[in-house]
Amino acid sequence: MLKDTFFQSKNTLNCKGKIINLSSPVVMGIMNLGPDSFYDGGKYQTKLDVIKKADQLLSEGASIIDMGAASTRPGAHIIDERTERRRLMPALDIVLENFPHAVISIDTYNAGIAKEAIEKGAHIINDISAGEIDDKMYDTIASLQVPYIIMHMKGTPETMQDNPVYDDPVKEIAYYFSKKVDQLRQRGVHDIVIDPGFGFGKNLDDNYRILNQLDYFKILEQPLLVGVSRKSMINKVLKTSPAEALNGTTVLNTVALQKGASILRVHDVKQAVETIKITRKLLDTAGQPTTI
C-alpha cells in the first residue's frame, strides 16, 4: 500500500536543542497540578508526589511531560497568573532538578507563565487558547523560539460547552488553524503543533466527526496532537466515568494514530505506548503480500 505523501508534516521538534523525532508517534504524559481537573486533580501536592508521577510517566515511555496548573474542564474559570504560578513553578523546579533530561511542556494560556517556565528550563508551550486569552503569547513564543502547541476552542473553558454550533466543524477548525499558523510563521515561529481540541467547544457528534476526518488536517502540514484521554466523548457513549474510560481511550487513540496523529496526550502512558507499537506494526505490514 502506498503511503500518502502529498502533504508532508514537519516530523521533528527542536526543544531548546533536544530534538523530538515525530516520524513515529510519541506520547505526552499529563501531570495536572490544579485541584479541580476532571480526572486526577489534586493528586500531586508534595515533592514526593511530583517525583513519583514524573518518574512513572518517563519510565512508562513518555517522550514529553505536560505540566499544567489551570483546570480547563468544561465550566472551569480562568485563574489569575499568581495562582497559576504558585501551583506550577515549585513542581516544575522539582522535575527539572530530578529529571534533567526530561522534555517538559507547560500547559498554560498566560504569556508571563510561559516565559518564566521556559526561562527556568521547560521546553514547549501548550496553549489551549492558541493565543486568544493572552494576546502577548505569540510574540512571547517568537522571542523564546520554542515549540508551540495551539488548540482549537470555541469560547473559554467556562462557556465552551454552551451549545456550540458549526456548519462543518472539520473545515472551520482547519481554516482557524491556517490563519493561526500563518500569523505564527510571520513572527518567525518554526515549530507548531496543532490540536483539534476534542471536548473544547464541541458536542458529541462534532468530536466523532473530527476524529473520523482527522487526516483532513494533513493539509496544514504541521504535526498533530490528539488529546482524548478519559474525556466525556467516551463516557457519554459508554455510560462510564473518567475512572472507567481507559479502554475507550485506547480505542480512540488507535483511530487517531491510523489517521495521522503524531502525539498522544494521555493520563495512561504505558497503554498509549503499547497502542503506538501495535498500530505501527499494523501499518508497517499493510502493504505486504498475502501468503498462502
CB burial of residue 114 (10 Å; 0-12, 13-18, 19+): buried
Q: In this structure, is residue 239 part of a structural domain?
A: yes
Unique residue bearing C-alpha cell 517522550: 63
Catalytic-residue membership of 265: yes
Q: In this structure, is residue 1 part of a structural domain?
A: no
Confidence check: pLDDT of 12 > 60 = yes
Q: In this structure, is residue 96 part of a structural domain?
A: yes
Sheet-wide strand order for 124-127: 192-195, 148-151, 124-127, 104-107, 64-68, 26-32, 263-266, 225-226
Query: C-alpha grid cell for residue 245?
Result: 474510560
Question: Can you say whether the dihedral through the CA atoms of 95, 276, 242, 113 is positive or negative?
Answer: positive
Question: For the residues 146-163, what does the mean pLDDT come to?
Answer: 79
| Backbone φ and ψ of 64, nearest 5° | -140, 140
Q: Are 252 and 218 in contact (CB under 8 A)?
A: no
Unique residue bearing C-alpha cell 522535575: 95
Q: What pLDDT, on the 0 to 100 scale, is given for residue 3? A: 47
Confidence check: pLDDT of 1 > 70 = no
Q: How far apart are CA 261 and CA 217, in angstroms?
A: 10
Confidence check: pLDDT of 29 > 60 = yes
For residue range 89-129, what is the model confidence (pLDDT) as tens digits? Answer: 999 999 999 999 999 999 999 999 999 999 999 999 999 99
Q: Give me the catalytic one of 53, 73, 87, 265.
A: 265
Q: Give me the catalytic one of 85, 180, 202, 231.
A: 231
Question: For the residues 31-56, what does the mean pLDDT come to?
Answer: 81
What is the span of the domain harbouring residue 48?
17-284
pTM: 0.91
Q: In this structure, is residue 170 part of a structural domain?
A: yes
For residue range 196-230, what is the model confidence (pLDDT) as tens digits? Answer: 999 998 999 999 999 999 999 999 999 999 999 99
Q: In this structure, is residue 207 part of a structural domain?
A: yes
Catalytic-residue membership of 230: no
Q: In this structure, is residue 12 part of a structural domain?
A: no
Confidence check: pLDDT of 4 > 60 = no
Question: For the residues 241-249, what does the mean pLDDT come to?
Answer: 96
**The CATH number of the domain where 133 resides is what?**
3.20.20.20
Q: In this structure, is residue 247 part of a structural domain?
A: yes
Largest CA distance in the chain: 66
How many domains, in total, are found in the chain? 1
Q: In this structure, is residue 269 part of a structural domain?
A: yes
